[in-house]
Structure 1
Amino acid sequence: MTPPGNNRGRPRHPRAKQARGASRVGERFEAVVGPVAHGGHCVVRLPDPVSRVVFVRHAIPGERVVLEITEGTDGDRFWRGDAVEVLEASPDRVLAPCPYAGPDLCGGCDFQHVTLDRQRSLKADVVREQLHRLAKLDVDVEVEAVPGDDDGLHWRTRQRYVTLPGGGRAMRKHRSHELVPVDTCLLEAASPSPHTALGRTFEVADDGFWQVHPGAPDALVTTVLSMLRPQPGERCLDLYAGVGLFAAFLLDAVGESGRVVAIEGDPEASRLSSVNCPGAVVSAGSVDAVLATSYDEPFDLVVLDPPREGARRPVVEAIVDRAPRAIAYVACDPAALARDLATFAEHGYTLQELRAFDLFPMTHHVECVALLERV
């Protein structure tokens, strides 16, 4: 379950694929669970004669479980599965608070069966592994709790349900269009988001992007400002600016002698950033296209908050061409962050600080803020 709005967190379902041999769906194996992996599952390596990696949900590293294959054929390099029976439980295993969490049920939560502290350590493991594997960085990572949820529940200030015939509602199963009727989702907050950050109110379209955890805007803005230390008169570039969350506070910091340019691909969000950030220069258009033709000038600071796929090389190289003294990268996907950090490193910008926040408790998602500087 991911943050909604502007395609940043729209549900994605697997494409139908050509079968590569006999199906193994429904087969069961006893196994010891290996390390956590990016995506809300753990790695299990089935020995010979099966000799296959299985990405298993509803498990915790170190447990002995019975897993059931949910996707996979003889010709696939890896399979997917669920832990349907726990033979030796981790001390970090708890009873899921939601009756719809578990194998063959709602796919929105990955970690309801895990204590909150262990959830955060698992997410830290994932961030650490992705940075090491994709960016060749060895970084200590701690995923920090953020005020605004109720022991990991009741934080989603915007929630989507599927309406059933007759007026009921449902959620989808993991990687499926199949529906699970539900009464309510325990992640849903009691009231919608007020669209405020550090006491400032922002205008947001009804279907527009805004962080869904109540504590997220304050945590992210405070972190970005503390990392960048914007000074009066500096020039700032806010990429994937949304409705101007970061641009508004950068404007305050750089003052009338400074300059803030906000670029956002969604036309309505870009229009609202003009309303929320009077004094900013606002451009509507895809970030790579705008940077390829406009604002080809030096900037002191850059903030970027790209969608799940990351900024990618053309945007990274356009940022580097503007020679900022510091870059704050807000990332909702650690793999995309790691790939982009590797590209920045090719151009002399290296990671100086990283903070990670648990803005999506009970799910595998984690938000990171990275500071890059040229050294």
Structure 2
Amino acid sequence: MTGKPDWTGRRLEVEVGPVAHGGHCVARYEGRVVFVRHALPGEVVIAEVTEDKGGGFCRADAVEVRQAAPGRVTPPCPLADIALGTDRCGGCDFQHVDGETQRELKSAVVTEQLQRIAGLDWPVQVRELPGGLLRWRTRARLAVDRKGNAGFRPSRSHRVIPVADCPITVEGAVPEVADRRWRPGAELTVTADGEGELHVTALDKKPQRRGHQQAVARQVAGSGVAHETVRGLPFEVSAQGFWQVHRAAPETFTEVVARLAAVPSRGVAWDLYGGVGLFAADLAEQVGPTGSVLLVESSRRAVEDAVANLRDLPQVGFRAGTVERVLADEDVPAPDVVVLDPPRKGAGREVVEAITAREPSRVVHVACDPAALARDVSLFAENGYRLVELEAYDAFPMTHHVECIALLEREG
């Protein structure tokens, strides 16, 4: 006996507490914390433990609702049905929740993360994007099971659940790959671009000597180059590259970022983690032909796309490399305003300190993870920058994810 309980597979009747970051709610059972997915605060549910490493907490899925809370609805996707237990698709956390309640839960999470991590009492209201809860997702990644069927994985699992469609993904995208057989173990990327073209890329894993595998990408459908238009400007991006997945997100986010950035005419702006130039286009318009914008991006393919997309804006310069390495170059001109859209983990101390050392008047931070945002906001505060505005959007309906755009200003 190790003394540490292992409740894996055990079913517990619990009263569900507050929502927490990560798509679950917090419950307690016999003195331990149980993180329960597919539940709502205030409910009484039967939860099956899916992961227990001992210690003070375990993870569980609700498999039966004894007392439902207001806001619970029947999931529109059959693979989110509570009767499936742990065999549910792991792509959506909130299929069982109506739209208004989803946004309330996300608002509570962002507010709590800012308070707990950054020490800020900052009530947040997550706003709805146009288009509703379904058919908003333009990009999806699927796995292939041993029989060659395309599907999605359950939460925290390597299993594959075959699918015929996905109601949050745009019409026709998932059926395009679900109707075919694929190489077992392959990974598929499906992209529906702004012109209606569907791009499908298969990443096949082929065995090599000594047990190694080589990943080989092949274009199955479409040109592999997605065409998008945002606020009248055309963009080209690799179908496998980064682009906001919600149909309405690029238009909304560029408007908000441009408003918060407000770079002075003839000024200098940095666009960090700049991708294919989505935000840099507006920054270039603000600084005018005699100002300058520096776009920094680690993906060389994205930089190549950005150069092509912004070829009519000579005030934009491009640097391919990590933000940390580029900002270590003392020849980089000091900015008036910085826009950064880091990966899910956030910018981190090294990047925050490199930015604040150059003393921009404003920083616009785009974040898809509230905990990472709160950590970065705390780091900026340590270096003399305060949060003055925050917009939050439900850019990922039916999931726990949320997009935030924060404005920080230099004190003094």
Normalised by the size of structure 1, how large is the TM-score? 0.91
Secondary structure of the corresponding residue to residue 97 of structure 1: coil
Find the counterpart in structure 2 of residue 61 from structure 1. Answer: 41
Larger deviation: 254-263 or 95-104? 95-104
- Partners of 1:42 and 1:92 in 2: CA distance: 14
Find the counterpart in structure 2 of residue 362 from structure 1. Answer: 398
- Partners of 2:96 and 2:134 in 1: CA distance: 13
> Over residues 152-192 of structure 1, what are the superposed CA-to-partner deviations in whole Å (9 max), with x where a residue is unaligned?
11111111222345553211010000111111111111371
- Partners of 2:150 and 2:383 in 1: CA distance: 50
Aligned residues of 1:193 and 1:212 also touching (Cα < 8 A)? no
- Partners of 2:285 and 2:333 in 1: CA distance: 22
Secondary structure of the corresponding residue to residue 35 of structure 1: strand
Find the counterpart in structure 2 of residue 305 from structure 1. Answer: 341
Aligned residues of 2:48 and 2:61 also touching (Cα < 8 A)? yes
Find the counterpart in structure 1 of residue 266 from structure 2. Answer: 233
Secondary structure of the corresponding residue to residue 33 of structure 1: strand
Find the counterpart in structure 1 of residue 241 from structure 2. Answer: 208
Find the counterpart in structure 1 of residue 90 from structure 2. Answer: 107
Unaligned runs of 5+ in 1: 1-18
1:34 and 2:13 matched? no
**Which amino acid counterpart does residue 123 of structure 1 have in structure 2?**
K
Aligned residues of 2:260 and 2:407 also touching (Cα < 8 A)? yes
> Over residues 215-271 of structure 1, what are the superposed CA-to-partner deviations in whole Å (9 max), with x where a residue is unaligned?
000111100111122221110000000001111111111111110000001111011
1:285 and 2:334 matched? no
1:327 and 2:363 matched? yes
- Following TM superposition, by how much is the alpha carbon of 1:23 offset from its aligned partner in structure 2, in angstroms? 2.5
**Which amino acid counterpart does residue 342 of structure 1 have in structure 2?**
S
Which of the numbers 148, 153, 157 marks the counterpart of 1:176? 157
- Following TM superposition, by how much is the alpha carbon of 1:193 offset from its aligned partner in structure 2, in angstroms? 2.5
Q: Which protein has the larger Cα radius of gyration, Structure 1 or Structure 2?
A: 2
Change (3 A) 1:23 1:234: same
Change (3 A) 1:113 1:254: same
> Over residues 281-340 of structure 1, what are the superposed CA-to-partner deviations in whole Å (9 max), with x where a residue is unaligned?
100000011101254432101000000000000100111011111110000001000001
Higher strand share: 2
- Following TM superposition, by how much is the alpha carbon of 1:77 offset from its aligned partner in structure 2, in angstroms? 2.2
Normalised by the size of structure 2, how large is the TM-score? 0.83
Change (3 A) 1:62 1:134: same
**Which amino acid counterpart does residue 276 of structure 2 have in structure 1?**
V
Q: Mapping of 1:2-13 within 5 angstroms?
A: none
- Partners of 2:148 and 2:344 in 1: CA distance: 33
> Over residues 35-55 of structure 1, what are the superposed CA-to-partner deviations in whole Å (9 max), with x where a residue is unaligned?
000000000012xxx310010
> Over residues 47-67 of structure 1, what are the superposed CA-to-partner deviations in whole Å (9 max), with x where a residue is unaligned?
xxx310010001000111111
1:126 and 2:114 matched? no
Q: Percent identity?
A: 50
Find the counterpart in structure 1 of residue 133 from structure 2. Answer: 152
Aligned residues of 1:301 and 1:326 also touching (Cα < 8 A)? yes
Aligned residues of 2:274 and 2:280 also touching (Cα < 8 A)? yes
Find the counterpart in structure 1 of residue 76 from structure 2. Answer: 97
> Over residues 189-214 of structure 1, what are the superposed CA-to-partner deviations in whole Å (9 max), with x where a residue is unaligned?
13712222112111101211000101
**Which amino acid counterpart does residue 173 of structure 1 have in structure 2?**
P
Secondary structure of the corresponding residue to residue 305 of structure 2: helix
- Partners of 1:155 and 1:295 in 2: CA distance: 42
Secondary structure of the corresponding residue to residue 328 of structure 2: helix
Which of the numbers 69, 75, 78 marks the counterpart of 2:57? 78
- Partners of 2:258 and 2:113 in 1: CA distance: 25
**Which amino acid counterpart does residue 76 of structure 1 have in structure 2?**
G
**Which amino acid counterpart does residue 42 of structure 2 have in structure 1?**
G
Find the counterpart in structure 2 of residue 349 from structure 1. Answer: 385
- Partners of 1:294 and 1:176 in 2: CA distance: 45
Which of the numbers 374, 390, 412 marks the counterpart of 1:338? 374
**Which amino acid counterpart does residue 397 of structure 2 have in structure 1?**
P
Aligned residues of 2:5 and 2:55 also touching (Cα < 8 A)? no
Which of the numbers 80, 83, 99 marks the counterpart of 1:116? 99
Secondary structure of the corresponding residue to residue 311 of structure 1: coil
Find the counterpart in structure 2 of residue 371 from structure 1. Answer: 407
Larger deviation: 187-196 or 127-136? 187-196
Find the counterpart in structure 2 of residue 13 from structure 1. Answer: none
> Over residues 95-132 of structure 1, what are the superposed CA-to-partner deviations in whole Å (9 max), with x where a residue is unaligned?
00000014321000000000100000100000000000
Aligned residues of 1:327 and 1:372 also touching (Cα < 8 A)? yes
Find the counterpart in structure 1 of residue 309 from structure 2. Answer: 276
Secondary structure of the corresponding residue to residue 78 of structure 2: coil
- Partners of 2:123 and 2:32 in 1: CA distance: 31
Change (3 A) 1:251 1:20: farther
Which of the numbers 274, 280, 296 marks the counterpart of 1:263? 296
- Partners of 1:263 and 1:294 in 2: CA distance: 15
Aligned residues of 1:124 and 1:143 also touching (Cα < 8 A)? yes
Secondary structure of the corresponding residue to residue 60 of structure 1: coil
**Which amino acid counterpart does residue 72 of structure 2 have in structure 1?**
R
**Which amino acid counterpart does residue 32 of structure 2 have in structure 1?**
R
Secondary structure of the corresponding residue to residue 41 of structure 2: coil
Unaligned runs of 5+ in 2: 174-191, 195-227
- Following TM superposition, by how much is the alpha carbon of 1:365 offset from its aligned partner in structure 2, in angstroms? 0.2
